[in-house]
Every structure is written in structure tokens, then in C-alpha cells.
Structure 1
């Protein structure tokens, strides 16, 4: 906003300030006082020139002049001050209008920023709601998809918790038998967890034999073999092996495994001793995976061998059956029909080829005759056509 004042004397524009106002007032007073001083000096000079008789009159005139000067100076200063006050009032009014305009602009800016902030906040809230909705939907879908797994896991955890409680109870008893049962239960649980398709079941108390029977099954549920597990925590004894082999024969076990905390001196981790696989508890589960795979391979080989003669018998019977004869006759008839169609097509094509060959020969003969007639008329002026000439150079 332009708040400059134009000087009526020099026609220059300037900004009015309080300092300038004060300076202007002082200048005006000095000028007025200067004029007054000049008049006083003049009066003094006149006083000196006039006689003493007129001293009283001069004094009266002096007072009148001084009073008049004061009045004129006061009026002049009042007018000037009023004019300056009017200008200052206008400038103040313009400044107030500018401040109001600035306040208005600032208010609009604040309102715009507030609207922008509210919009961004609302947008962020919507994004958060969408994210939350997506997260809830994904969570619900995952929960729905894993409901059965979670239920199974819960059941397994409950069973494991029961077993842990049972193990803790037995551990508190501190007996060697309880420690052996803890080892047996832990191995049983680990086998069940690792091989979900297999049937892992403990051998009941009072029944002579091993501790755990593992029936190896494929994904179709078919039994491929049986592994008999025995756990021991006592000091190693070679007498365990014959009894465990006998237990294996009793249960028709494919493999017999002895898991012992204390191994023989010659065994570091695991080895086969007298047809019994002896292993430490640390390597029991990895070894179970290897043995299970071998059992599956043995079962597959046995199945293939057992069914070989039966498949050959089925094949021989099929070759002698009416079904094979009918199917083979149908195949032979199809081949014969294809051969007959091929011969028919060949004969047709040969007749077509012969007809075309005769047409081509007739056309060539006619062209040759026409060329000979033209040559007889035109002589050597007729260009030679090599394809219509014999190898000896004579025309056909």
C-alpha cells in the first residue's frame, strides 16, 4: 500500500514519520522565530532612530507586533499542524486498512491451512481405516484358512501339556523307572510330531517287548513297514540286544532300534550291532527319518517283486482273450482300409498324371510344328528357341 506524501513545493514524495513531524514543527517554529527576531531587530533599529519621546509608542507598537506575531505564528503553526494531523490521520487510516487487509489475508491463510490439515487428517484416517480393514480381512482369511491347523495345534499343545505335567510328576518321583518313561514319552511325542502319516503308539505296561511301535505309512495310508523302538537310561548291557531282536520278531518289525543314553565304548553316535540299530538319543530323530525312507523303499521293491508274476499272468490272459483279438482285428482292419484308400488315391493320381502327360506332349508337339512352320516362312530371321531344338542342333 502507497503511504507517501507529495510535497506541494518540490513535488517530491516521501514517507511521513513521527521524527519528520517533530522536525517540521521545530523548523516551522525556528522560521517563525527568525522572522520575529528580524522584526525585533528592525524595531530596535527604529527605536534607536526615533526619539526618546516616542519610546513609549514604540514599546506599545513592539508589544502589538509581538502579540500579532505570536497570533500569526500560532495560527500558522495550528494550520500546519492540522494539515499534518489530517495527513497523519489519513496515513493511519490507510495503515489500519492495510492491517485489516493483512489480518484478513492471514485469516484466510490460516483457514486454508486448517482446511488442508483437516483434509490430510481425514485422508490419513481413511487410509488407516482401509489398512485396518485390509489387515482385519487378511487376518480373518488367515484365521479361517488355518482354523483346522490351529485346532490341531491346540489339541497337540493340550496333549503335550498333559504329557509335560505327567513327565513333571514322574520326574518328581526321582526313580529310574520314571526317568525311563520320560525318555520314552518324549521320543514318542517327537516321532508323532515329525511323521504325521505314521501310526506311533506305545506298548502297554505289562506287555513284554519294546517301548514304541512305529507303523510307517505313505500318504495314501498304506503300511510300508514297522519300526520297533526301545529306550534305555541304565548302564549299557549287551544282554539287551538278543531280547530286543526277539521282540522284533514277535511284532514282525522291519527294523529294531535301541535308543540308549549310555552307548557301548565302540559306538560314538550310532551303529548296527547284531542286527540291532543302536543310537544315542541326540541322533534318534534324524536316524528315524533315514530308516523310514529305507522302509518305504524296501516296501516299494517288495510290492514290485510280488506283483511281477501276477502282472505277467494278467498280460498272458489278456493276449488270449477275445477282447485283445477284437481290438487287434479292429486295428488291423483300420490299417488295411488305410492301405486300400492309399492305393485307390494312387491309381486316381496315376490316371490324372497320365492324362496331364498326354496333354503336355500334345501341346509341345503343336508348338514345335508351329515353330517349324514359322521357321520355314521366316528362315534365319526367326530367333532360335533352344528348348525346341534337338541335341544335334536340328529342329524337331
Structure 2
């Protein structure tokens, strides 16, 4: 049930006609009783900000962090569309608000797809009434499918906590880079919480999940993660809420990494021994964006020299006489030079889909981890054009 697993929420997904393929492209997540509920959001830091992001941020501010529904579309990002794009995003909220009988500021909006193309508002407008009418507690799967673009599978999660539930759905297969990684996510919970408590839980949950995911170094114009609370489970411990939200975010981020465009490897790259956590994270992110390193992963080549070279040039503190590199827990480099190791074991690890690579800089206690992928021919094929 994913996004409707938490009691108090309904969802729906339909094909409005935005996508030429006829696939589902319009989704709704709504509070079951129609009353505005506490909500929070985290958004892209790209200054080329899409109209739905601007609209949703404005609505959360105007409502004091209250929302009754989220309307989402795929197939068109409604980004780089100027004043008309903002008017279209507002119109989507107006139409949903009219169907639900709520204030327009209590409806949030998300879009994903191609940039710079106006929304086909005629089909969007025609699709909203039947979408709202179709909402049900069993509509989570259809909603998750309706927000997919180049995703090969829908991404859903349910976290059963002590006395409450966090459910969610997300999409994302490329333009995955902090801050957040093109991604949309809607999370719901029945834990009673204020907008401030939800914001704290969401901000913390995003930090080590979506913001630690870097597939191609490209930050989307539309990245949005929303969290809504029905409150049906009553008040819960804030720490427990934050843990459950973080677990849901981490699960969805891992699903994104596993479904990245053209990827054959999911790589967890950890840098330790840096002067600070910030330097460790910066180093890990730099390596994760290295085309040479990513190509070596695709070729199943444990070419640790490329990793060491990138860390030595990325601007963080580095001493080549202290660095060590391991693949799958097998140390291949120590003190900046190769050491004897089980080559067959390393080769077996590199042949797996999930790779664990660790670098110790030997300088301090700083630690950082990035979830990323290899670079393949299929990624290039997918991104050569817009058609």
C-alpha cells in the first residue's frame, strides 16, 4: 500500500494523456477525511527552480504547514516555463481544491519530466476530476506508477514503527545529485506531529539518504520530498519518528540507486580518516562523479589509482603516504601503494551488482558515504536527446 499504508490517507493514479505512450501520468495523495493536516517539505537547491516547487513552497508558507492533498504529474516538468508555468501549477492546485472542497493553499503540486515544455493543460484539467474521484486507501500502487519517467519500476516503502507507520512513494532514475537526488517523494505517517516536528524529521531523514545519493552529478529543477501526518496514531517520540522517516528515505534512495539509468552497479563509497565529516563527504562525492572511476566500475576493474588520484585533487586534506583503499573489505592499497591481496576475491566482488568501496585517508575522524553507480553505454543512449 506504500503511501497509503499509514491510516488516514488515500491515493490514485491515472493516465490523463500527458505521456504519448498512454502510461499513467497523473497522481494524487490526499488526506482521507479531506481536512488539512500537518505537512513539511524539502526542495531542490537549484536556482533554476521549477514552477511546482515555487508553488508548493508558497502554499506551505501560506498555510502554516498544512496540506490536504498533493497532485503530481509525470511526463512534463513544468520547469523553465515562466509565468505561464506558475499559473499552470496554481491551476492544478485550484482544480484539486475545488474537487475536495478545500482552500487552494492546502494543495501541493509536483511535476517531473522534460524541461522547457509547457504543460498540456487541457489534458491535465480533464484528468483531475476523475483522478480525485478514484482516490482510495488502495490507490498507492497506481499513484507510484503514475509518477515514473525513465524509472523501470515504481518505488514504494512501508516502515512499521512502534505504534505508528511511515509509508511513501518516490521516483528517480537520473539527474540524481544533491541537494536531493529528478526525484519526487511523498511520505505519509499516522504519527501525530506538528509541521515543525515533521520538518525536523524530514530534514534529518533526507541528509543521509537522498542527499547522499549521487548518480550523475546533475541536480534537478524539480526535486521535492513531502511528509504529511494524519495524526491517527497519536503522539509519538520524536526520535522514533525521525528514525522511521530516515529509514523510509534510505530505502527509497537505495531503490533509486538500483534503478539508475543504464546502471549495472550500485556502489556504496565510504571515505574515512578525513579531517572532518564535510571533507570526507566532499571527497566521496568527488570520486562518485568521476567518469574514469565510474567507467572502471562498469568494466569491473578495481583501479584504485583513479580513486586515490581524485581524492588527491579534490581540494580536501590528503597525504598519499597514509591513504588506503579496499574493495569488498579487501585492502588493495596501503600507504598509497598496492599491497598483496586476493585478486580472485576482489574480482568476484567487482562482478557483483552491489559494490562496497572504502578509502581511509589516515588523517582524522571524518567520515562520509555516497551511494552511486557506474557509467554505462545505456546511460548515454538514454540521454542523447529529448525524444
TM-score (norm 2): 0.20
Work out which of the two has the higher radius of gyration on C-alpha atoms and give 1 or 2.
1
TM-score normalised over the length of structure 1? 0.20
**Larger strand fraction of residues:** 2
Higher relative contact order (CA closer than 8 Å, sequence separation 6+): 2
